[in-house]
Amino acid sequence: MIEQNTSRTELAELGEFGLIEHLTRNIILKNESTITGVGDDAAVIKAGDKHLLISTDLLTEGVHFDLTYTPLKHLGYKAAVVNFSDIAAMNGLPKQITVGISPSNRFSVEALEELYSGIYMACDKYGVDLIGGDTTSSAGNLFIAITVIGEAEFEDITYRNTAKSNDLICVSGDLGGAYMGLLLLEREKQAFIADPNMQPELEGYDYILERQLKPEARIDIVKSLKALGIRPTSMIDISDGLASEIKHICKNSKLGCQIYEEKIPIDITTISMAEEFKMDPTIAALSGGEDYELLFTIKQADYDKIKSLSGISVIGHMTELNEGEYLISRSGTAVELKAQGWDAMKKNED
């Protein structure tokens, strides 16, 4: 019915970000109410005198989650929270979500109740209304699509492309924990497959398990920054690892950066788990992903204000584009930053 294009390019050649860029490269926005489209954590639309933030995230079984070790209630909670995090990344507050789920018949009504109870728990905690969605069956895996609507004052909305050279690079909380939690769960799954009588060894690792299974959106940071009168010059949430996210800010702001390994906040549990896996914890922080902390830049003049906010680490500064993107290691060596973030497109090819 329509002429078919006969050449074939594999999805993996472009990767997730490349694919989105490729498929959306020719968009010309038509409506006056569309302020910002594809390319940031959320789109911005104007409605009368207000501005709304809109973001959609998909979670697919076998790619984003493994039901052998993810309780459905946790999955629902996380699916909602990662969407709230996209609104936090724009310096806004989440207000509504729609939820589309596509379960196969192996799910019972009770299983979906568990999933929804997690979604509702997140909605209650963050003051968000579930306003709609769709429920349809799947011939195979479980699929969850959530769209979140958030609010922000227009002048508070924070993009990825507005950092300036010499701005300070800040990160909330600590990094790498969610990834180490994932590795631990995968290890125990393999041990269980090898010997179903084995009891999982999870004791003492509550922190990293919670980081993986029950992350939070840093709406508290959005509120604290506003209370302190700090308007970040750019912001993004850390879903794919610090390296990938800082590179997004660099690319979109047409700048370089220097971050200091010794300044990257990493929890002691993350470090000891990394040691067990004979892995450098800095790698977990740079490339692990799913921490859902906020990465943002501020003017140097705001340094004294940010110092007063606990749980924020200043890890480096933005530089000019031609200065490149570098990690300064503990030994003082400058290493070029590579994004080897958790890429949903590539993961499925293993």
Restricted to residues 100-119, the positions that interact with a second copy (CB under 8 A) are: 100-105, 107-110, 112-114, 116
Task: Choose the stretch contacting a second copy; rule: CB under 8 A; options: 135-143, 273-281, 316-324, 330-338.
Answer: 135-143
User: Quick check: helix, strand or coil at residue 295?
Assistant: strand
Residue 199 near a second copy by CB under 8 A: no
User: Quick check: helix, strand or coil at residue 65?
Assistant: strand
Residues within window 271-330 making contact with a second copy, judged by CB under 8 A: none
Residue 350 near a second copy by CB under 8 A: no
Q: Are strands 93-102 and 129-135 parallel, antiparallel or unpaired?
A: parallel
Task: Choose the stretch contacting a second copy; rule: CB under 8 A; options: 128-136, 177-185, 219-227, 299-307.
Answer: 128-136
Task: Quote the least distance from Cβ 17 to a second copy, whole Å.
Answer: 9
- Whether the CB-CB separation of 250 and 297 falls below 8 Å is answered with no
Residue 7 near a second copy by CB under 8 A: yes
- Whether the CB-CB separation of 55 and 41 falls below 8 Å is answered with yes
Residue that the structure tokens 């500064």 belong to: 317
Q: Which of 33, 166, 199, 300 binds a second copy (CB under 8 A)?
A: 33
Task: Quote the least distance from Cβ 176 to a second copy, whole Å.
Answer: 22
* Spacing of C-alpha 349 from chain mean position: 21
User: Quick check: helix, strand or coil at residue 212?
Assistant: helix
Task: Quote the least distance from Cβ 142 to a second copy, whole Å.
Answer: 10
Task: Quote the least distance from Cβ 134 to a second copy, whole Å.
Answer: 5
Residue 4 near a second copy by CB under 8 A: yes
Comparing CB distances to a second copy, the nearer of 37 and 324 is 37
- Whether the CB-CB separation of 97 and 148 falls below 8 Å is answered with yes
Residue 66 near a second copy by CB under 8 A: no
Task: Quote the least distance from Cβ 197 to a second copy, whole Å.
Answer: 20
Residue 158 forms beta bridges with which residues?
none
Residue 193 near a second copy by CB under 8 A: no
Comparing CB distances to a second copy, the nearer of 101 and 257 is 101
d(CA 73, CA 117): 6
Q: How far is CA 29 from CA 20, 47, 54, 87, 327, in A?
A: 16, 16, 15, 21, 37
Q: Which of 88, 89, 122, 128 binds a second copy (CB under 8 A)?
A: 128
d(CA 102, CA 205): 32
User: Quick check: helix, strand or coil at residue 349?
Assistant: coil
Q: Which of 67, 133, 226, 280 binds a second copy (CB under 8 A)?
A: 133
Residue 42 near a second copy by CB under 8 A: yes
Residues within window 143-172 making contact with a second copy, judged by CB under 8 A: 143, 145, 147, 149, 151
Comparing CB distances to a second copy, the nearer of 53 and 257 is 53
Residues within window 210-249 making contact with a second copy, judged by CB under 8 A: 213
Comparing CB distances to a second copy, the nearer of 127 and 320 is 127
Comparing CB distances to a second copy, the nearer of 113 and 323 is 113
Q: Nearest 5 degrees, angle CA 149-CA 151-CA 157?
A: 115
Residue 101 forms beta bridges with which residues?
135, 144
Task: Choose the stretch contacting a second copy; rule: CB under 8 A; options: 22-30, 193-201, 260-268, 291-299.
Answer: 22-30
Residue 203 near a second copy by CB under 8 A: no
- Whether the CB-CB separation of 87 and 55 falls below 8 Å is answered with yes
d(CA 241, CA 342): 7
Tokens at 107, concatenated? 């799910």
Comparing CB distances to a second copy, the nearer of 58 and 335 is 58
Tokens at 160, concatenated? 């990825």
